[in-house]
């Protein structure tokens, strides 16, 4: 059994119910260890639709990474997300493999660790809550370190934006 982390989100339909159903279906092949709080987040990266509910799940599985991906996609389809969904479309459910143990995988249909997790506040918050000492296999930093760098970078952006918005006399 391998320790895995899965990002979960929904911004279409009954979001709470979609997440509950997905978690229930996950238990068929994933032993759940911890589930983060569910966070309400604004759509990012051009995704259409309403606000998301997002969280992170820590579990264990005996599925290979490819089998896990197919299993997660089957749950998405069972809950109404089309297999051929358009990029940036609304999601009844979205399940992303964030980490699969310490594996690094780069294939055309599967990249682990998830390539944008260090830029997504809701993912980092969830990971901080359930496993802050986990070390990102690519970045060689703990979630705690990545979270701190993310917060520091965002506070610098806010300070820069305030300076840029001040009127000159």
Structure tokens at 93: 């459910």
Q: What amino acid positions are annotated as catalytic residues?
A: 81, 91, 94, 96
- For tokens 């279409």, the residue is 12
CB 110 within 8 A of CB 15: no
Helix, coil or strand: residue 19: helix
Instruction: Name the phi and psi angles at 109, rounded to 5.
Output: -110, 5
**Distance separating alpha carbons of residues 110 and 113, to the nearest angstrom:** 9
Question: Which DSSP state fits 92?
Answer: S
């Amino acid at each position: 059994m391998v320790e895995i982390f899965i990002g979960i989100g929904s911004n279409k339909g009954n979001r709470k119910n979609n997440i509950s159903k997905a978690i229930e279906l996950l238990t068929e092949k994933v032993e759940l260890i911890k589930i983060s709080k569910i966070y309400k987040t604004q759509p990012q990266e051009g995704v259409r639709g309403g606000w998301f509910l997002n969280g992170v799940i820590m579990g264990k599985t005996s599925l290979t990474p490819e089998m896990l991906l197919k299993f997660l996609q089957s749950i998405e389809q069972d809950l109404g997300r089309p297999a051929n969904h358009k990029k940036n479309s609304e999601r009844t459910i979205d399940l992303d493999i964030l980490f699969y143990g310490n594996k690094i995988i780069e294939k055309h249909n599967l990249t682990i660790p998830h390539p944008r997790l260090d830029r997504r506040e809701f993912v980092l918050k969830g990971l901080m809550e359930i496993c802050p000492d986990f070390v990102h296999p690519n970045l060689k930093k703990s979630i705690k370190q990545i979270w701190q760098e993310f917060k520091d970078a965002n506070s610098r952006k806010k300070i820069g934006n305030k300076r840029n918005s001040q009127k000159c006399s």
